[in-house]
Amino acid sequence: MVIAQCQKCKREPSTVVSRKETFCKSCFLKFVKGKQRKQMKDGRFKVKYGRNEDQTTEKTVSAILAFRFDGSSLVLLDILISWLEEQLAMSPRAHVGFNLTVLCYSLEQPQSWIAEKATQIKTKYHGEEGISRLHVKFEILDCNDEVKRNEGLSGIYLTDHFESLIDRSNKVKGDALKMIDTQIQDKSAQEDLKSVVERDVIVRHCLQLECSILLLPDCMSELAISVLAFTARGRGERISETLGDNYIDVDGNRLEVLYPLRDILKSEIESYLKICDLERFQAPKIDNTFKSVKNKTVNELVREYFESVEPEYPEVISTVVKAGSKLRIPFSEGDVKRCGICREIINDDPQNWLESITVNEGIPAKTEEEKRNYELYLSSIQRPEERELYTAGNKESISLCFGCVADLRNLRGKFSWPAD
pLDDT given at position 268: 96
User: How does pLDDT run across 354-398, given as a tens digit for each residue?
Assistant: 767 666 566 778 888 888 887 887 776 555 455 455 545 567 788
So what's the pLDDT on residue 272? 97
Q: Is the pLDDT confidence value at 148 over 90? A: no
Residue 352 φ/ψ, nearest 5 degrees: -65, -40
Say whether pLDDT at 110 is over 60.
yes
For position 392, what pLDDT does the model report?
Answer: 53
> Which residues have a Cβ under 8 Å from the Cβ of 151 and sit 6 or more positions away?
171, 418
* Section 236-250 average pLDDT: 79
Angle at 247 between CA 144 and CA 397, to 5 degrees: 60
Which pLDDT score, from 0 to 100, does residue 292 have? 72
Domain coordinates of the chain in residue numbers?
1-39, 44-147+192-288+295-325
Residues 285-288: contacts with CB within 8 Å, 24+ apart? none
The least confident of 23-27, 166-170, 184-188, 263-267 is 166-170
Say which amino acid occupies 127. G
* Mean pLDDT, range 236-247, rounded to an integer: 79
pLDDT at 100 over 90: yes
User: Higher-confidence residue: 337 or 9?
Assistant: 9
Rounded mean pLDDT, 305-312: 91
What pLDDT, in 10s, does the model give residues 286-307? Answer: 766 667 777 789 999 999 999 9
| Residue pair 410/185 in contact by the 8 Å Cβ criterion | yes
- Other CB atoms within 10 A of residue 311 CB: 12
Contact 103, 306 (CB under 8 A): no
Correct CATH for 44-147+192-288+295-325 of 1.50.10.10, 2.60.120.380, 3.10.580.10, 3.40.50.620: 3.40.50.620
Assess whether pLDDT exceeds 80 at residue 179. Answer: no
Mean pLDDT taken over the chain: 85
Instruction: Check residues 409 and 121 and name the one with the higher pLDDT.
Output: 121
H or E element: which one contains 367?
A: none
